Amino acid sequence: MDIKLQKVSYRYGMGTPFEKRALYDVDLHIRSGSYQAIIGHTGSGKSTILQHLNALLKPTEGQVQIGDAIIERKKKPKDLRPVRQKVGIVFQFPEHQLFEETVLKDVMFGPMNFGVEEAEAEQRARNMLTLVGLPETVLEKSPFDLSGGQMRRVAIAGVLAMQPEVIVLDEPTAGLDPRGRQEIMELFYRLHKEQNLTMILVTHSMEDAARYADQIAIMHEGRCVLNGTPRDIFSDSEQLAAYRLEVPRIIQFQKQLEARIGLSLGELCLTEEQLVRVLSRVVKEREAQ
């Protein structure tokens, strides 16, 4: 399911002294089955964009096309609901949305809202809880008795159980330890690869964007200033600096290494694994000479 933003502008608090423009003429086309990252400095309009992706906000100007549905300012709230089932959002600190008596019931909340039968919803909930790596024993526990990391997983399962075609992630790993961070990111990447889900990752982390995304859009002061592949985006560190962003640490490392040994490795490595591969190839080539 493609998502197309056309000349989208948004103002908070229209008609009050607090009126603030958050988005200016944003054009963005997110293709079905892609892994799109949206990065930007604090206050660049990332979160505002995110809420447009499943019609939580309606653009004050322009339009958002989500699959076949067109979201404009005039749309009535009840027409927006079907869209929300197709696009699931995992908000920042999603554990704050837990409320049910048991973990199982909380995960069933989403699907049941969209008219899924109870038995079916329960089946989905059990599957999703296993998928996010929670043991059977938590099913009947209160979500408030779990650890922070486990609560996060329950909340993520709650979004996955709606079986959306597009998943929007807002800093999904904020506040997790490094291992939990990696597990969660790998989980989403697996879903993206195996089930061909469209992923949209809104993040501060250049490393995550470089590692997982195949398209990166850069937001700066309410505008979408760049959109391209990670290689294109991260090859120009000066331009990134102008948007108050840095290239991933591994690319900084590669640049410094190249300067030190006076040799270009020939390609930009986006992850540690890639750099190791390229480096060992280069070393072997030189030994052979």
Partner 1 sequence: MTKMIFGRFLPGDSFVHKMDPRAKLLFVFIFIIAVFIANSTWSYAALLVITLLIMLMSKIKLRYLINGLKPVLILMVFTLLLHVFFTKGGALVVDFGWVNIYEEGIRQGIFISVRFLVLVFITSILTLTTSPIAITDGLEILLSPFKKVKLPVHELALMMSIALRFIPTLMDETDKIMKAQMARGSDLTTGPVKDRVKAVVPLLIPLFVSAFKRAEDLATAMEVRGYRGGEGRTRYRLLKWTMRDTLALLALLVMIAILVLLRN
Q: Which residues bind partner 1 (CB under 8 A)?
A: 12-13, 15-18, 51, 54, 56, 77-78, 81, 84-85, 88-89, 91, 94, 96-100, 109-110, 113-114, 144, 158-159, 162
In terms of CB distance, is 15 or 266 closer to partner 1?
15
We find the least distance from the C-beta atom of residue 96 to partner 1, in angstroms, to be 6
We find the least distance from the C-beta atom of residue 159 to partner 1, in angstroms, to be 7
We find the least distance from the C-beta atom of residue 126 to partner 1, in angstroms, to be 18
We find the least distance from the C-beta atom of residue 206 to partner 1, in angstroms, to be 26
We find the least distance from the C-beta atom of residue 54 to partner 1, in angstroms, to be 6
In terms of CB distance, is 50 or 275 closer to partner 1?
50
In terms of CB distance, is 12 or 24 closer to partner 1?
12
We find the least distance from the C-beta atom of residue 221 to partner 1, in angstroms, to be 21
In terms of CB distance, is 20 or 193 closer to partner 1?
20
In terms of CB distance, is 149 or 278 closer to partner 1?
149
Cα–Cα distance, 99 to 76 (Å, whole number) = 28
In terms of CB distance, is 12 or 243 closer to partner 1?
12
Residue 152, C-beta contacts closer than 8 angstroms, at least 6 positions apart = 94, 95, 172, 176, 180, 184
